[in-house]
Structure 1
Amino acid sequence: MCNPSIFRLALCLILIVTLGAAAERPAYAYHTSSDLAETAVTSQEWDAILQRDAGAETQTEGPVLQTQSSPVSYKVRSGDTLYRISRSFGIPVETLLTVNGINDPGSLQAGQQLQIPSEQTGIDLPGGQEGIIRQVLTSTLTAYTAGVESTGKKPSHPEYGITYSGSKAEEGRTIAVDPSVIPMGSTVFIDGIGVRKAEDIGSAIRGTRIDLFMDDVKQARDFGVKKNVKVYVLEGTA
């Protein structure tokens, strides 16, 4: 018959070994609902953690580079109103009043220069140069080439690729215009296209329509017809 004292001693040894083995197990291996309840984070604590992390990210992030748009001015034409100018540039009348320090909207005079916040209009002139806009147009854009399909001239023609102004047509620069609307030699900023030079004319180019010169026939055809495009004619370029 087993001695009760020896039995109790053996039972204690088994419990000690079992508990010791459990203590050696990784702490993350098993969790009970009570364990999770004890480690739960309150909403206030989460807010503090998020604020701390946001502050740490702010301190470790590098400086943000600021880009500055080119300054743009508009030269008031006879008959202009602030409302008409604001619609042309797509900016509120209040913005024009504030930026230019105008107290009386009826005090505009022909030749007066108004500062236009270019960051709101998307007008970005090359090289950071300052531009004075003398005219704003709504145009229809098409494209043409130097070839037979557009000009009727073959590469063997002595005037192949030569514009009305006498310069050689160049993609990314040359446009054909109606000189009664946009004078020859004018520099224009075309919304979504960029800066171009009025160097050519065309029999189908009348009014505010503009033809963009391209080297490739397929590219010109794929360009298609783009209507209601804003065009800004710059001062002192013709």
Structure 2
Amino acid sequence: MTKKKLMAVLLAGVFATGGLFASRASADTYTIQPEDTLYKISKQFQTSVEEIKELNNLNSNTIFVGDTLKIGGHDEKVYTISPGDTLFHIALAHDATVDQLQKWNNIDSDLIYPGDAITVSGPQQEYAKSEVKSATGGTQAKTSTSSVPDTGRTMTVEATAYTAYCEGCSGTTANGTDLRANPNLKVIAVDPRIIPLGTKVWVEGYGEAIAADTGGAIKGNKIDVFIPDLDNAYEWGRRSVTIKILD
């Protein structure tokens, strides 16, 4: 490589890492689906009901299928293109790929112009929808948008919510699970005469859970879903839901 070519490459690298930076707030959007609630959406995107309401100027929890909501936000990094810059060197300097830069900026070619601003960071990743089995047999928290199981005995029950710190609560379930030490477990309280303890149950708006607890007021076709956060437990309220007994 000649000295002239080597200098050109080095300058390109310097320009790519030495341009002007700025950041701007950018909100993700979500289209409301059937059976969605603000609580379900807040859990999916790891935010709060109040934050969604404030961001969308909502005065109540009523939402409509097909409407678009702004969900949270993130700082979007913006880079001002300098003379000698290329998409390759900009991507290299910002831990991205050329394809990502083109996607984030709606660019169809490698052609860029000095002085233009280019986004060098993508949108916030969607909340991972994974579930992890625990040693107690429970299921760690996942998004409540899990699909309805194809099999299982279906029931309609009245569902309320509780936390590990409610008045009179010890934080330990009927089968010995410590909910204060394991706040992400999906657990429901049941009437063992209707749903035996240890049963895996799918709950509409909550997902798959383990029947691991009981309660003095939980008699007959009633369940109590465990929600670690008090505000979200209040948000759940009292509702009629469909459940499926999976085993």
Structure 1 and Structure 2 fold alike (TM over 0.5): no
> Larger % of strand: which?
2
TM-score normalised to structure 1 length: 0.38
Between structures 1 and 2, the one with greater helix share: 1
